[in-house]
Amino acid sequence: MAERPQWTFITTHALVLLAVERQPSASVGELAEVVGIKDRHVRRVLADLEAEGYITRKRNIGRQNDYTVHRDRPMRHSSFMEQKIGSLLSVLSR
């Protein structure tokens, strides 16, 4: 019998966003380790979050980046668009 794929209630995008808020200067490798996904996947998620205005990336010394999370951005699901992403991050940070 084939093993069923594992699933979670919180998306990878939310987990990466939470990790960035907790460690704004973390490297892609550090974020990948915290979230439990590959570096390449973290890079794709960061690009998505930046393209939609949820984070801003500032190049630091060398290859290090500092990220700013924009907590005032709306949730993306149509049922929750009136809620700000900061509300979700606050709940997840407890």
How confident is the model over 24-78, as pLDDT tens digits? 999 999 999 999 999 999 999 999 999 999 999 999 877 789 999 999 999 999 9
Name the pLDDT band for 2 (thresholds 50, 70, 90): low
3-state helix, strand, coil in the chain (%, to 5): 45, 15, 40
d(CA 94, CA 59): 30
Tell me the mean pLDDT in the region 3-29. Answer: 92
pLDDT higher at 47 or 94: 47
Structure-token pair, residue 18: 């939470």
* Residue 64, CB-side half-sphere exposure with 13 Å CA sphere: 9
The pTM assigned to this predicted structure is 0.89
d(CA 38, CA 35): 9
Tell me the domains of the chain and their CATH numbers.
12-92 (1.10.10.10)
Largest Cα span, the chain: 51
Name the pLDDT band for 17 (thresholds 50, 70, 90): very high
